[in-house]
Amino acid sequence: MKEIRLISPLNESDVRNLSIGDVIYLSGRVYQILGPGSTKAMEYAKRKEKLPFELENGVICHIYSSIKKINKDWKLNYAGVSTSTYLPIEPNFIRNYKIRALIGKGGVGKETIDAMKEVGCVYLAFTGGCAALFTTRVKGLEAIHWEDTPERVIAFKVEALGPLIVGIDARGNSVYEKIDDEVKKRLLKIRIMPSTV
Amino acid sequence: MPITERMVADLCAGLYEKALKTLPSDVMEALRKAEEKETEPIAKRIIASIIENVKMAEESDLVVCQDTGLPSYFFKIGTKSNIVGDLKKAIAEGTLKITQDLPLIPHCYHCITGFNPGTNLGERVPVVHFDIIPEAEYIEVTAAPIEGGGEFFNAFKNFRGLTRPDPIEFVKKFVIDTIASAGGRPCPPLIVGIGIGTSFDKVTMIAREASIRPLNIRHPDPFIRKIEDELLATINKLGIGPMGMGGDTTALAVNIETGHNGPCRPVAIKIQCWAAMKASARIYSDGTVVYL
């Protein structure tokens, strides 16, 4: 278990050097793009269109956030990670925009992993339910795109966001797959003992 | 002086907020013990980050989890308490107040269209359960918002309950299979609330009660207690671990509640993630509020 500090935007070779189980603390810019209203961004990926913001070498997050506008400035109330498989990612999204890391919980599907291997992208698991930890590592809201729609994209500035655990590395190794296989094996071995009644 | 609508509304708002921003001490204690015992370094790290998160929530006045739940309350009404006004209206008002003040991301959708009114209120929401306390001069209120993650994996099954009932091993297997198939998705470490017996409608209710029962309170029947221990040990042998990333800590506790049944023995499983949101208080007829 290595502990590594990284700054986003990330570079491909740093990302390819990461292995499952490494612990990351991330600073720099991360995007909330894979929230409840992510379909618009996914449509851009399907049409291979250029997005109105720069994502190359960027980090995107599966998060729910509550923000409020005070005068003209947006402020974060709280944010925390959501289950990635409930908010599907177009594999082409990762390919087209050269995404280097996804932050979420629970991992992603096989097609997404294939795209991650090609591009050089990792899946970073943030602990589910830890909204206070996430929120206190956010140092500002850099930009909001598509502001008045549910599809809005938020660029957060974070400092030492973590611990983020590499759940899927850029070689396609997956903690989730490993654990799933292990659980299946152990389940077969478990014999429920008869009770004394 | 009676208990008024305003008092109940304020209490509901206060308890909902407390449930969101703190973690009950019994759950914290179980997390600390789990961190100490955990042998997998990644799992240990995840549990440590959960404990740090709860501290940060307290220090920075933030919610513990961004899933602030479907609003839900348990009301136990003392038969000697003096209440004026509409209790249900008061509960809705308090819920709306905290939803707007904090503000919360409301997770209350129309059951067919999926429309979110944005108020955290809806048909039969807040989900409220009423009970009575004989002779008491107070109302006891528990706010226990229902998080979405675990709720997806709740399960129900009927077993034979006649004079020659299905062996209890069938029930144990049902529990283990349910936890194994949920894997890391409900955000383990989990609290597993199980209802055994009673009826179709009551068993899910006692499973929920089991899931909010303090983790250091065990079932009074030694035979049931043994099943709780056995199930906890077996679940933690599955190796799912915190957040499904492997380890010894898949569940913090297995709590069972039981009741007699007819020819059919229903079993319900309520899966609760580690962020076990709950807060309780008593409000007396003179307006005094005592947080429990």
Distance CA A19, CA B238 (A): 24
Mean pLDDT computed over every residue of chain B: 96
Q: What pLDDT score does A194 carry?
A: 59
Q: What pLDDT score does B185 carry?
A: 93
| Residue length of chain A | 197
pTM over the 0.80 mark: yes
Given a contact cutoff of 8 angstroms between Cβ atoms, the answer to whether B272 and B19 are in contact is no
* Cross-sheet strand order for the sheet of B190-198: B155-160, B264-272, B190-198, B251-261
CA A137, chain centre distance (Å): 15
Task: Considering only residues A74 and A15, tell me which one the structure prediction assigns the higher pLDDT.
Answer: A15
- Please say if the pLDDT value at position B231 is more than 90: yes
Question: Is there a contact between A130 and B167 if contact means CB atoms under 8 Å apart?
Answer: no
Distance CA B172, CA B291 (A): 36
Distance CA A181, CA A197 (A): 34
Express as a percent the part of chain B with pLDDT over 70: 100
Distance CA B93, CA B8 (A): 9
Q: What pLDDT score does A193 carry?
A: 62
Distance CA A131, CA A83 (A): 14
Sign of CA dihedral B10, B107, B200, B211: negative
Please list every residue in chain A whose beta carbon sits closer than 8 Å to the beta carbon of residue B65.
80, 128-131
Strands (E), A82-151: 101-104, 122-126, 138-145
What average pLDDT does this structure show over B245-270?
97
Question: Is there a contact between B183 and A163 if contact means CB atoms under 8 Å apart?
Answer: no
Which H or E run includes A184? helix A175-189
pLDDT for A30-58, tens place per residue? 999 876 667 888 888 888 888 888 899 99
Distance CA B97, CA B10 (A): 9
Residue B220: asked if its preceding bond is cis (omega within 30°), the reply is no
pLDDT for B81-134, tens place per residue? 999 999 999 999 999 999 999 999 899 999 999 999 999 999 999 999 999 999
Which residues 30-89 of chain A have a CB within 8 Å of chain B? 63-66, 68, 77-80, 82-83, 85
Distance CA B19, CA A64 (A): 19
Task: Please state the φ and ψ torsions of residue A134, each to the nearest 5 degrees.
Answer: -65, -50
Nearest CA in chain A to B99: A66
Distance CA B63, CA B102 (A): 9
pLDDT range class, residue A110, cuts 50, 70, 90 = very high
pLDDT range class, residue A88, cuts 50, 70, 90 = confident
- Taking alpha carbons only, the member of A126, A66, A130 closest to residue B54 is A130
What average pLDDT does this structure show over A64-88?
88
Question: Is there a contact between A190 and B238 if contact means CB atoms under 8 Å apart?
Answer: yes
SS3 of A93, please?
A: helix
Give the burial class of B61: count Cβ atoms within 10 A of its Cβ; 0-12 exposed, 13-18 middle, 19 or more buried.
exposed
Nearest CA in chain A to B52: A133
Question: Is there a contact between B184 and A131 if contact means CB atoms under 8 Å apart?
Answer: no
Distance CA B125, CA B70 (A): 8
pLDDT range class, residue A196, cuts 50, 70, 90 = very low
Q: How many CB pairs lie under 8 A apart between chains A and B?
A: 149
DSSP A83: B
Nearest CA in chain A to B53: A133
Beta bridge partners of A26: A6, A161
pLDDT range class, residue A197, cuts 50, 70, 90 = very low
Please list every residue in chain B whose beta carbon sits closer than 8 Å to the beta carbon of residue A178.
246
Min Cα separation A158/chain B (Å)? 16
Residue entry with tokens 């390919």: A95
- Taking alpha carbons only, the member of B284, B277, B285 closest to residue B70 is B277
Min Cα separation A137/chain B (Å)? 11
Question: Is there a contact between B183 and A179 if contact means CB atoms under 8 Å apart?
Answer: yes
Question: Is there a contact between A192 and B103 if contact means CB atoms under 8 Å apart?
Answer: no
Which residues 74-133 of chain B have a CB within 8 Å of chain A? 102-105
Residue A163: asked if its preceding bond is cis (omega within 30°), the reply is yes
In this structure, the number of other CB atoms found within 10 A of the CB of residue B45 comes to: 23
Residue B157 CA: distances (Å) to CA of A138, B116, B196: 44, 31, 10
pLDDT for B5-44, tens place per residue? 999 999 999 999 999 999 999 999 999 999 999 999 999 9
